[in-house]
Amino acid sequence: MRLRNVPGARQEMLVNPYVIQEPERFKGVWSREVFHNDHPLHIEIGTGKGQFLMALAELHPEINYIGIEKYSSVLFRALQKRPALEQENLFFLRLDAEDTPDIFGPDEVSKIYLNFSDPWPKERHAKRRLTSQEFLNRYRTFLKAGGPVEFKTDNRDLFDFSLEQIEPAGYVCDLCTFDLHHDDTACAGNVMTEYEERFSRAGHPINKYIIHWEVQKWLNKSTQKNSMN
């Protein structure tokens, strides 16, 4: 996907009150020091233009949200929407997903959203996919045990790859559908992203899973791996 440059986007990242600067200083204390409460923290990695997270933040003032986006020109569009939200439960980070373990402490995040992530279609780039085993292992460093990872995509090849990564990473699948909008159970309470609206209107089926990691399952995986070395 070719990104259009937005003049002034990088400068806006430095001065906008809803973009947190030097986020490493809040590792382990996000809810207390940034949101000034003890509510659970949910994050979206690859927040795009912000429609999804804005809707969630409005629906759930009892939850703290952080949207993480790598590209200034994309995050700029989310920031344009942010003043419409009356609650103070949504902030943003301009950050590469690889750096999330440096930003959040153990058990600090209660839920992760991954929506229409870059598929990185070339096999040599598989480790860059946000649903790869490498990234699932990163999430474990700050995601509470039992905390869900929700993933949606219209890319069937990426979804099939993602399903293969669950078990080797020590996660358990709680929900899986290959056609979200025609699955009444899976679609209950669904909040759509900009991409989801566009793709579903075009007739593209939306794939979704919800997974979580379990301490014992991960310990068993680690033990098996160590015994083979």
Average pLDDT, the chain: 92
* Confidence at residue 181, expressed as pLDDT on a 0 to 100 scale: 95
Identify the CATH assignment for 9-228 out of 2.160.20.10, 2.40.30.10, 3.40.50.150, 3.30.70.270. Answer: 3.40.50.150
More confident residue, 146 or 225: 146
* pLDDT tens-digit readout, 47-76: 999 999 999 999 999 999 999 999 999 999
Residues forming the active site: 118
Contact predicate 82/53, CB 8 Å: no
Token representation of residue 88: 């103070």
Q: Stretch 163-189: mean pLDDT, rounded?
A: 95
Residue 2 has pLDDT above 70, yes or no: no
**CA-CA distance, 168 to 172, in Å (whole number)?**
10
- 96-115 tens-digit pLDDT: 999 999 999 999 999 999 99
So what's the pLDDT on residue 14?
92
pLDDT at 7 over 60: yes
Q: What is the domain partition of the chain in residue ranges?
A: 9-228
